[in-house]
Every structure is written in structure tokens, then in C-alpha cells.
Amino acid sequence: MSEKEQKLETQDVNEINETDQSAASDVVAEEIQEDIATDGVETVDLAEDAEAIDAFFDQAKAEASSPIAGINQATYNQLTKRNQQFLFDIDRYLIDEMPYEVRTKVYEEMVETLLAGQLSSQTARQIYGTPSEVAVTILEQEIKADEEAVTSPDWMIALDGSLFLGSVFTFLTGLSMMNAEEGQATYMGVLTIIVNYLFAGLAMLMISKVIPNPDAPKGERGYLRYFLVSILAMLVWFVAITASSVWLPASINPAFSGEVYMIIAAATFILRYYLKKRLNIQSDLF
């Protein structure tokens, strides 16, 4: 091949390479433009989403920026300055004494009352009194509610009922023995006394499980069930006492004088009072 022919062939190859490179460059350029366009759309969408999120949190922050627990700013702003200060003063007393959720419920009710009072130009002090008095009252009511909500274990309720009801029956038995004529007294031996206290506790425990709920809907308050269970519990108690008195021989179930029964009754009643305070026994019965 001559030198001239070689130059022509080299020139043709270079032209073909340049053409391929140009085509490839055009394809890459088109892809880049598409990517830029796509990225631009996504950037705009992300920016719009970010603005919406920021606006949402700004609104939530504004609504929750009230200094009073559970009261949003919009509602708080409806109160007069004096009423706002009144709630703020109360919260200073309660913030370390009551959890946030409990204070929220208290303040929601108070704000509703204060807003209604503002319509007739009533101030917080006219409605409730001083902030310190209100705070003390709220704390006392909360403590009382907590105590009433707590129910003691079954064994405590049975023990308390045993000592209470058992001591009452023992006292009445001793009294009847002291006032009865010779040969007419009903005697209760030492084992019968034990049976008396045991079944008295069982009866009280049974009754405590079916205490009626007066706040329940009509027909679901449980008065009939309470009535039936109470009769059954008392019946079991009296049958147990009578059976032990009749069936247990006097050799293992000796009787005491009426004075001894009254002393036993007084001692167990005092013990019941002491244990109720000592153990903080909570019951819906008494």
C-alpha cells in the first residue's frame, strides 16, 4: 500500500472515531440534561415538603407553647391576664406534687369554668379563692381519690372483716350470757369463737366482691347480686357457728363466762382498729 493510500485510510478512521465520539457526547449530554431536570423537580418537591413540615411544627409549637399543662396557646389567650396569672400561680404549687397528666385534667376543667365566668365578669378569685387555697384543695382531693381507688389485698379485707364482724357477734353473745337467766343462756365455746371469726372474715370478703356500682347504667349496678350474696354469706356464717356449737363436744370446746366474751370482743375490736391504721386497709365495705 502506498503512502498516499495509508494517509487516506487513517483520515477515514479518524473521521469515523470523531463521529462516534460526537454521537456518544450527544447521548451523555442528553442523559445529563434529563438528570438535571429530574433532580430539579425532586429538589423542588423536597423543598416544598420541608416547608410544609416546618409550618406544621411551627403551628404545633405555637399551640403547645402555653405555660399551663395541657392547655394550648389559643385557649390560654382567651383568658384574661388575671386568670392566666391565677392558673400560673396554682401550677407553681402543683408542678412538683402532681404528674403532668393529672394537672392537665384539673386545668382543663378550671379553664372551662373560668371562661364561663368571664362572660359574667367573674374573676378566678371570686370563683375559686386564692391560688394557695385552690392548690391545697386539689392536692387533698387527689390524695383522697388515690386512697379510694386502691383496694387492699383479699387477706387484708378478710382480716379486717373478721375482726370487725366477729367482735360484734362475740360482744352480743357475751352480753346475752350476762343478762340471761340461769339455764337460758346460749353458750359459745372457745373453738366456736375461732369459727366465728374465720367465717365472719370469709363472709365479709364475699360481700366485698359484689359491692354495687351506683354510677353504672340501670340494670347493671349489681344490687340484686349484692343482696343475694350478702344473704348467702351471712347464712354460711351462722350455720358454721351453730354447727360448731352443736357438734363439738364441751371437752374440746369449753365455754367461758359472759364477761370473758366481752373482753375478747373489745380486744379484737381494738386490734382491728390498730391493724386498719397500721396496714392502711382499704375496703368499700366500711
Q: What is the pLDDT of residues 126-143, one digit of tens each?
A: 888 888 888 888 888 776
Report in angstroms the alpha-carbon separations of 147 from 109, 143, 173: 22, 6, 35
Output the CA torsion sign for 216, 220, 224, 230: negative
Quick one: 138 exposed, middle or buried, by C-beta within 10 A (0-12, 13-18, 19+)?
A: buried
**CA atoms of 77 and 75, how far apart (whole Å):** 5
What the block records as the C-alpha cell of 108 is: 382543663
What the block records as the C-alpha cell of 153 is: 389485698
- 118: which DSSP letter? H
Average per-residue pLDDT for the chain: 76
Select the highest-mean-pLDDT range: 90-94, 146-150, 180-184, 263-267. 263-267
Report residue 189: phi and psi, to 5°. -75, 175
Report in angstroms the alpha-carbon separations of 180 from 73, 174, 185, 258: 77, 10, 5, 10
**CA atoms of 168 and 232, how far apart (whole Å):** 19
Quick one: 65 exposed, middle or buried, by C-beta within 10 A (0-12, 13-18, 19+)?
A: exposed
**CA atoms of 117 and 115, how far apart (whole Å):** 5
Residue found under cell 473521521: 15
What the block records as the C-alpha cell of 246 is: 352443736
**CA atoms of 80 and 61, how far apart (whole Å):** 22
3 state DSSP class of 71: coil
Q: Which of 93, 91, 40, 94 is nearest to 68 (CA)?
A: 91
pLDDT at 251 over 90: no
Domain residue ranges of the chain, discontinuous segments joined by +: 39-149, 154-279
What the block records as the C-alpha cell of 183 is: 339455764
Q: What is the pLDDT of residues 145-169, one digit of tens each?
A: 555 555 778 889 999 999 999 999 9
Show Cβ contacts of residue 254 under 8 Å, excluding neighbours closer than 6 positions: 189, 190
**Beta-carbon count within 10 A of 188 CB:** 23
Over residues 53-57, mean pLDDT: 50
What the block records as the C-alpha cell of 55 is: 409550618
Q: What is the pLDDT of residues 183-227, one digit of tens each?
A: 555 667 889 999 999 999 999 999 988 888 776 777 777 888 999
255 conformational bin, left if phi > 0, alpha if psi -120 to 50, beta if neither: beta
Report residue 255: phi and psi, to 5°. -100, 150
Share of the chain above pLDDT 70, in %: 70
**CA atoms of 236 and 242, how far apart (whole Å):** 10
Q: Taking a C-beta distance cutoff of 8 angstroms, is the pair 192, 230 a contact? A: no
pLDDT at 42 over 60: no
